[in-house]
């Protein structure tokens, strides 16, 4: 029976079919963000927690989406009306394959790590080239399938609901973005309950459900090809509005470039207020996508009022483009430290207006470019994705390392500040209101640009360095100095950081030869280790941090030139897995807070296994754990006990946090006098450097006495939360805590 392009007798109602089909794209959008977030973390665990690796994964993910969109659209164009089966069935197969990716990718990343370990690449460029190639080969095919879903979905709408084909991209885009919003909220809760792999299984199950539903819909629709789509009412031919032809592609490219570039800038701008936890980053993404969804919905309503139910034939108001230019600068105001707003209000008012307007304009541009043609939609969307790939690279490697966050945002806003005043050109459809708005844009933009202040300007005395990883601020005087990374306080001058060196070295049963210090910070632990006159290697993720050493310690520049000291810019875990050097001591001070995103990879069983391989027999691993809840303490304690046969735990000299000492040999029962006698003279002077006179031996004894008196059996920490499992890469208990804290809070209020 030939397809007439209309509903067949056994087809569900058009409204029911449309709602079911859009719900599939809602779930698909949820799954895509779930996979993106989890795959990123898995890749970081396998190949390193570095900005380069994050950029590689995100760029590869977006490249796969763009390639899939372009390739599927081009293939559909070549096939024309000659599809031998309903597009819904092809869509079902693709979703099923995407579900398989959720199970396959962790294994593929693991194989890549094994291969790279076998190659023993020691140079970072060679390593990142090889790891980037593996990540690309792993993710691009799967992400390509994700990118193919919208052009194929458009063909399915054209086969079953031809009257709606003119705006099919925007309808699928809106549903997809709505699902992506949920994808920023639900996966962190799933990770807390199920771990990363369990969360991927949930995504795979959702993809299988999508595939099954699509097959059922395809059987009921029974529309193998759009042989008589022409019987339906033709889509209205779009007229030139904001742009037409190649100009639309330029605008789509710029929207992807600026929005994704700005997202990287927003992370730095709002970190001082939101913190460094995974929920802070999820909040930015959630506001971004929620505003995009709202803008897309408004576009759908606006366009449905046009002729028929097709592509709009009425120009959008030029005021929208003027507002877009102005909204791009709103974060300059909401991130101003002189304005005392709640962190939620800062984020929403700063991000939502710009992304909401792009949510309106982006699907509008694709609808006008494609007029329901899947091939044109696929190529247009691919151009947008190319911008999304280049935006973070532009912001992360060309703007932020050399400009402040404020000026980086201004540079990214320039295309819209140029395009925004287009209403100044007299032509049909430009009202006096639109012209007036365009005239007002320039002075308003000037006010926003020149009246705004960056976070660093709240510190009158400061040194600021910028690189592709972070903005680093050193501020304060005497003992009140601070180190801030992206506006968040990392450490201060405290005897705790000295004890991270002296306590474990004094517990060694031999004279130490060398030590590894993971996380440089102010350099205090590195400096204290050098006072033992041993070879010390410090590993720091942020290149600018060691350059601040002299700000906090007057002899910093001299110590950096010492033949005994060596500073490596790398991910600490990646360095451990790459090096063949053996150490007497490995001391770790992960960035605060204990919930910081990515910090679990310096507390996990897998990390401790790598560290144990790099310790000489009888060597000591010293793990610093600042304040946390009972689950955090129990998870880290279990991980250490599972990794080392001997572990002792001591409270700090300042009364907060814990020193964990772990070894493959028993740690001796030493007194404060025993520990003091093991300290060389320079090390003893370093330990008491900040004590009031007379200092000396009594101060050393007091410091060691305080720590030894605060020893806590590791079983006590575990017993505080006996059901909490050991912290592993797959179960980052310290980072994902929302449900348990909500549960605890609910219990207190009952």
Q: Which of 411, 239, 375, 424 is nearest to 315 (CA)?
A: 239
**Mean local confidence (pLDDT), 286-296:** 94
**How many domains, the chain?**
3
Whether the per-residue pLDDT at 188 is higher than 70: the answer is yes
191 vs 33: CA distance, rounded Å: 13
Give the pLDDT band of residue 668 (cuts 50, 70, 90).
very high
Beta bridge partners of 488: 485
Quickly count: other Cβ atoms within 10 Å of residue 617's Cβ.
8
Give the pLDDT band of residue 64 (cuts 50, 70, 90).
very high
- Residue 511 domain-assigned (yes or no): yes
Does 297 lie in the same domain as 420?
yes
Quickly count: other Cβ atoms within 10 Å of residue 349's Cβ.
16
84 vs 367: CA distance, rounded Å: 26
The whole-number pLDDT of residue 114 equals 83
Whether the per-residue pLDDT at 217 is higher than 50: the answer is yes
What is the 3-class SS of 210-234, one letter each residue? HHHHHHHHHHHHCCCCCCCHHHCCC
Residue 596 DSSP symbol? B
Omega of the bond prior to 452 within 30 degrees of 0, cis?
Answer: no
Quickly count: other Cβ atoms within 10 Å of residue 122's Cβ.
10
Q: What is the CATH number of the domain that holds 646?
A: 3.40.50.150
The whole-number pLDDT of residue 313 equals 43
Q: What is the CATH number of the domain that holds 403?
A: 1.20.1250
Whether the per-residue pLDDT at 746 is higher than 60: the answer is yes
Q: Which of 174, 277, 158, 291 is nearest to 229 (CA)?
A: 158
The whole-number pLDDT of residue 310 equals 45
Q: Pick 556 or 83 by higher pLDDT.
A: 556
Whether the per-residue pLDDT at 225 is higher than 50: the answer is no
Domain that holds residue 364: 235-458
Does 636 lie in the same domain as 538?
yes
Q: What percent of the chain has pLDDT over 90?
A: 56
- What's the mean pLDDT when you consider all of the chain? 87
Token readout for 537 is 């290697």
CB–CB of 658/651 below 8 Å? yes
Does 364 lie in the same domain as 266?
yes
Token readout for 196 is 């990363």
Does 645 lie in the same domain as 666?
yes
Does 329 lie in the same domain as 220?
no
Give the pLDDT band of residue 48 (cuts 50, 70, 90).
confident
- Residue 477 domain-assigned (yes or no): no
Does 702 lie in the same domain as 735?
yes
Task: Look up the pTM and report it.
Answer: 0.87
Token readout for 217 is 């819909």
Q: What percent of the chain has pLDDT over 70?
A: 88
Q: What is the CATH number of the domain that holds 63?
A: 1.20.1250.20
Whether the per-residue pLDDT at 724 is higher than 90: the answer is yes
Sign of CA dihedral 302, 305, 311, 313: negative
pLDDT in tens, 453-488: 888 888 888 999 998 888 999 999 988 999 999 888
Report residue 579: phi and psi, to 5°: -75, 155
| DSSP-derived secondary structure for 167-178 | GHHHHHHHHHHH
Does 412 lie in the same domain as 494?
no
599 vs 603: CA distance, rounded Å: 7
Burial of residue 742, with CB atoms counted within 10 A of its CB: 0-12 exposed, 13-18 middle, 19 or more buried: exposed
Does 269 lie in the same domain as 207?
no
452 vs 383: CA distance, rounded Å: 33
Whether the per-residue pLDDT at 527 is higher than 90: the answer is yes
Question: Which residues make Cβ contacts (< 8 Å) with residue 650, sequence separation at least 6?
Answer: 503, 658, 659, 661, 707, 708, 710, 711, 712
Does 530 lie in the same domain as 398?
no
**Mean local confidence (pLDDT), 344-369:** 92
- Residue 472 domain-assigned (yes or no): no
């Amino acid at each position: 029976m030939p397809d007439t392009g209309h509903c067949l007798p056994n087809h569900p109602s058009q409204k029911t079919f449309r709602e079911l089909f859009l719900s599939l794209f809602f779930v698909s959008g949820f799954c895509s963000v779930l996979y993106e977030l989890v795959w990123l973390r898995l890749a970081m665990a396998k190949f390193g927690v570095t900005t380069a690796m994050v950029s590689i994964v995100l760029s590869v993910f977006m490249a796969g989406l763009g390639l899939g969109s372009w390739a599927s659209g081009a293939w559909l164009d070549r096939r024309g009306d000659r599809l031998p089966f309903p597009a819904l069935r092809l869509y079902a197969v693709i979703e099923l394959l995407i579900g398989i990716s959720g199970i396959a990718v962790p294994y593929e990343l693991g194989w890549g790590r094994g291969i790279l370990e076998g190659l023993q690449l020691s140079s970072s460029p060679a390593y990142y080239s090889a790891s980037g190639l593996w990540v690309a080969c792993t993710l691009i095919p799967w992400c390509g399938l994700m990118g193919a879903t919208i052009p194929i979905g458009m063909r399915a709408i054209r086969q079953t609901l031809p009257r709606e084909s003119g705006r099919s991209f925007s309808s699928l885009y809106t549903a997809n973005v709505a699902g992506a919003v949920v994808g920023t909220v639900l996966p962190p809760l799933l990770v807390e309950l199920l771990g990363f792999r369990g969360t991927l299984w949930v995504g795979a199950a959702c993809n299988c459900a999508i595939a099954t539903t699509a097959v059922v819909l395809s059987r009921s629709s029974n529309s193998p090809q759009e042989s008589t789509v022409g019987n339906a009412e033709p889509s209205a031919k779009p007229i030139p509005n904001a742009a037409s032809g190649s100009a639309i592609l330029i605008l789509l490219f710029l929207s992807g470039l600026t929005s994704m570039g700005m997202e990287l800038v927003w992370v730095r701008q709002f970190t001082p207020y939101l913190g460094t936890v995974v929920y802070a980053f999820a909040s930015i993404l959630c506001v971004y996508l929620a505003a995009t969804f709202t803008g897309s919905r408004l576009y759908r309503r606006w366009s449905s009022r046009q002729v028929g139910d097709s592509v709009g034939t009425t120009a959008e108001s030029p005021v929208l483009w003027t507002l877009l230019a102005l909204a791009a600068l709103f974060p300059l105001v909401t991130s101003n430290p002189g304005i005392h707003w709640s962190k939620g209000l800062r984020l929403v008012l700063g991000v939502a207006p710009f992304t909401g307007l792009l949510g309106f304009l982006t699907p509008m541009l694709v609808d006008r470019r494609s007029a329901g043609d899947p091939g044109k939609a696929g190529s247009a969307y691919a151009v947008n994705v190319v911008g999304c790939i280049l935006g973070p690279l532009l912001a992360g490697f060309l703007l932020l390392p050399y400009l402040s966050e404020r000026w980086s945002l201004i540079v990214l806003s320039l295309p819209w500040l140029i395009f925004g005043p287009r209403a100044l050109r007299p032509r049909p459809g430009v009202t006096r209101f639109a012209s007036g708005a365009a005239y007002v844009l320039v002075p308003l933009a000037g006010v926003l640009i020149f009246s705004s202040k960056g976070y660093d300007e709240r510190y009158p005395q400061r040194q600021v360095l910028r690189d592709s990883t972070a903005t680093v601020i050193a501020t304060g005087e005497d003992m009140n100095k601070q180190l801030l990374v992206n506006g968040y306080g990392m450490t201060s001058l405290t005897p705790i950081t000295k004890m991270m060196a002296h306590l474990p070295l004094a517990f060694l049963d031999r004279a130490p030869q060398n030590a590894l210090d993971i996380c440089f910070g102010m350099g205090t632990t590195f400096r204290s280790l050098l006072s033992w006159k041993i070879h010390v290697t410090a590993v720091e993720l942020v290149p600018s941090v060691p350059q601040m050493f002299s700000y906090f310690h007057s002899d910093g520049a001299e110590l950096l030139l010492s033949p005994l000291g060596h500073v490596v810019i790398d991910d600490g875990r990646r360095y451990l897995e790459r090096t063949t050097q053996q150490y007497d001591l490995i001391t770790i001070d992960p960035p605060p807070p204990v919930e910081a995103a990515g910090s679990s990879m310096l507390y996990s069983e897998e990390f401790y296994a790598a560290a144990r391989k790099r310790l000489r027999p009888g060597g000591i691993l010293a793990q610093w754990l600042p304040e946390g809840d009972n689950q955090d303490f129990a998870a880290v304690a279990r991980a250490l006990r599972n990794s080392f046969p001997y572990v002792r735990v001591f409270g700090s000299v300042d009364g907060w946090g814990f020193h964990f000492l772990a070894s493959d040999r028993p740690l001796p029962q030493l007194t404060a006098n025993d520990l003091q006698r093991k300290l060389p003279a320079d090390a003893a002077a370093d330990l008491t450097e900040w004590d009031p006179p007379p200092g000396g031996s009594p101060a050393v004894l007091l410091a060691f006495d305080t720590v030894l008196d605060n020893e806590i059996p590791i079983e006590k920490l575990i017993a505080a939360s006996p059901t909490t499992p050991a912290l592993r890469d797959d179960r980052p208990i310290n980072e994902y805590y929302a449900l348990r804290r909500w549960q605890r809070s609910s219990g207190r209020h009952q």
